Chains A and B, each alone.
Chain A
Amino acid sequence: MTPTFPFYLEAITHFLMLLIMGVYAWKFDNRFRYRMLAGFYLVATALLIQPLSQNENIHVHNALYLFTGLVFAGYFFAVLQTSWRSRLALALALPTLLYFVYQLVGGGYPWFDSMGYALASISIVIMIFLYFHEMLHHVSETPLLESFDFWLICGWLMYHLGAFGIFLTYSSLTQTMHLVGESYISTGRDLFTYLWGLNNVLLFLSALVAATGLGWKIYHRSYQL
């Protein structure tokens, strides 16, 4: 199957996020967490661009969900101020890690591991809720919309919450496909395509939200000067 535009969106979005994180780390705040995210998006872009030409990107994706879970846990560990929340964020990476190890020991997952992705996404959503909980309990003087972290995390919420639902549906459809057999594949394939398209659109929109946050910071800084 020739990849259509929504499939290219994944690599484009990760590249866009790489640019956003790079500009932010360079212009505003070069703390480790932002450089780590820039590094993550660089690796993700490289991993996603390469298999597009071969149209076989299942194993790349299966490694990517683990990488995503670990990096995001590290980011939230740095961002959250209260010790119990930051430790909980770090602990939320464990289910994803354990699941990946379990699959690896079992010989690797031959198809797209949507359950692994669903696990990583729901862990990230819980980390995001921890962030919002802390934010509402520790109000600061700075206006919320001036925080780049807020914009970044809102974009992630938009993507990962939707992705969780998509990946669960994916997992259910995959299991049905294996039970029903070849006759399901031809009718269910289009649904897989649309769902993956939606996933990539949500990913792209989350990058646009992060870009808006960066744009706001740049505008605010130039306005103050």
Chain B
Amino acid sequence: MENLSQELSIVIVGSGFLFMVALAIACVVLVYQKKQLRQRFEKKQMQSLYHQELLKARLEAHEETLGQLAKELHDNLGQLLNSSKLLVSVAKNNHTDEALDMAHETLTVALQELRGVSKALDSGGVEHFDFIENLRAEAKRINASKNLVMTLEHPDQLALPKEQQLVLFRMVHEVFQNVLEHARASHIRVRTRQDDHNIEVEVIDNGNGFSQGAVIAPGHGIQNIKHRTSLMGGVVEWLSGPTGTRVRIQLPLS
């Protein structure tokens, strides 16, 4: 009898123990699956945000390209065609070959400019976007204004996907805009470096700096840069003082 009660106790205790362990394991599995679902949801959200930012960057690049092309057409091509028209008019009235020759030369230059515009329109897509090429073009444009000198230091090409190069360029462009509008700088130095793991872009100006607390406001370009950098898994930092500002953007290559 005593043996039977001992055996029964062992069976009850053993069964109870197994039930408790099974319950604990089931709870662990449920918690894990819940965390997994949340992680998948967050990943999808991040992907969606990333695609939205990419689209936004493409639209901005598209708008800017169109703006620049419109300016090119008006300032350059428009002037050349106007000159050609005047020269043809002079040649018609005075019957001189010289004016016709000059009109011919002017129209040739105009055709070349038109081809350039056509090429720029054609290569405006993300598939052809090149960060270094656009950086050089931007430097040329800024240096042409003679208000500011921009010097560049960069590798021949970046190992980032084209779409990320576009977003990186938009961020760097935002920094340039801030320097042009607020810094009163005379010189900007842009250093681009890459290694096996990261790409780093530094923009250093000799302007009057800013107080970081003053510019962190909703809608400001800095918020945009921070947001885009974090979406791409990178970091951005500002170091500002009375002698200038340094902005460093670092993005992972993976």
The residues of A with any CB-CB pair to B shorter than 8 Å are: 132, 135-136, 139-141, 143-145, 154, 157-158, 161-162, 165, 190-191, 194-195, 197-198, 201-202, 205
Contact = CB atoms under 8 A, between A and B. Distances in A.
A158 B33 CA distance: 21
A157 B33 CA distance: 20
A162 B35 CA distance: 29
A191 B9 CA distance: 10
Given A162-B17, A162-B18, 7 more contacts: A139-B32, A143-B36, A158-B21, A165-B17, A190-B3, A197-B10, A205-B18
A136 B32 contact: yes
Interface of B: 3, 6-7, 10, 14, 17-18, 21-22, 25, 28-29, 31-33, 35-36, 39-40
Contacts of B21: 157-158, 161-162
Nearest to A140: B36
Contacts of B14: 162, 198, 201-202
A10 B191 CA distance: 69
A135 B36 CA distance: 11
What 5 A-B pairs are tightest by C-beta distance, nearest first? A139-B35, A194-B10, A198-B14, A158-B21, A139-B36
A205 B17 CA distance: 13
A136 B28 contact: yes
A136 B36 CA distance: 9
A139 B29 CA distance: 11
A195 B32 CA distance: 34
A197 to B, nearest CB: 8
Contacts of A144: 29, 32-33, 36
Contacts of A158: 18, 21-22
A170 to B, nearest CB: 13
A158 B19 CA distance: 10
A197 B7 CA distance: 10
Contacts of A161: 17, 21
Contacts of A165: 17
A181 to B, nearest CB: 20
Nearest to A154: B25
Contacts of A136: 28, 31-32, 35
A50 B6 CA distance: 31
Q: Chain A CB within 10 Å — which of B10, B18, B29, B33 has the most?
A: B10
Contacts of A141: 36, 40
Nearest to A194: B10
